[in-house]
Amino acid sequence: MANTRATRCTFIPPWLTERVGGPGQVLLDEALRAGRGLGAGPEPRPAAVTEGAAWTVHDAGSTTDLPGEPARSAGEPATGDVAVDEAATGIEATLAMWAEELERSSYDGAGAHVSLTVHYGTRYDNAFWDGTQLVFGDGDGEVFERFTKPVDVLAHEFGHGVVEHTCDLVYRDQSGALNESVADAFAACLKQRVLGQEAADGDWLIGEGIFTPSVQARALRDMAAPGTAYDDPRLGKDPQVGHMDDFVVTTEDNGGVHLNSGIPNRAFQLAAVAIGGTAIAGAGRIWYAAITGGDVPRDSDFATFATATIAAAGPHAAVVRDAWAHVGVEAAGAVGAPVPDPPGQVAGVLRVQRSGGFAGRTETAEVDLDDTDEPGLRDLVADAGIGSDDVGGDQTTKPDMFLYSFTLGDHTVRVPEHRLTASQAELARRVLRRNEM
**CA–CA–CA angle 40, 44, 46 (5° rounding):** 160
H-helix or E-strand spanning residue 14: helix 14-20
Q: Where in the sequence numbering do the catalytic residues fall?
A: 157, 258
Q: Strand 114-120 to strand 55-59: parallel, antiparallel, or no bridges (unpaired)?
A: parallel
Extract the runs of DSSP E, i.e. beta strands, from 190-265: 205-206, 221-222, 231-232, 236-237
d(CA 137, CA 128) in angstroms, rounded, equals 9
pTM over 0.85, yes/no: no
Q: Do residues 334 and 351 touch, judged by C-beta distance below 8 A?
A: no
- How many other C-beta atoms are found inside a 10 Å radius of the C-beta of residue 436? 11
Please give the full DSSP string across 56-124, using - where no structure is assigned: EEEE-TTSS-SS-EEEEETTPPP-S-HHHHHHHHHHHHHHHHHHHHH---STTSS-PPEEEEEEESSS-
- Residue 340: its pLDDT value, please? 35
**What distance, in Å, lies between the first and last C-alpha atoms of the chain?**
47
Q: Do residues 76 and 91 touch, judged by C-beta distance below 8 A?
A: no
Q: Do residues 133 and 36 touch, judged by C-beta distance below 8 A?
A: no
- Residue 389: its pLDDT value, please? 53
pLDDT by 10s per residue, the chain, length 437:
444 343 466 677 766 766 676 544 544 544 443 443 333 333 445 555 555 689 999 999 999 999 999 999 999 999 999 999 999 999 999 999 999 999 999 999 999 999 999 999 999 999 999 989 999 999 999 999 999 999 999 999 999 999 999 999 999 999 999 999 999 999 999 999 999 999 999 999 999 999 999 999 999 999 999 999 999 999 999 999 999 999 999 999 999 999 999 999 999 999 999 999 999 999 999 999 999 999 999 999 999 999 999 999 999 999 999 999 999 998 533 333 333 333 333 347 899 998 888 888 888 999 888 777 777 777 778 777 776 554 455 566 677 888 889 888 777 888 888 888 888 888 888 898 887 66
- Residue 361: its pLDDT value, please? 82
Architecture of domain 9-164: Roll (3.10)
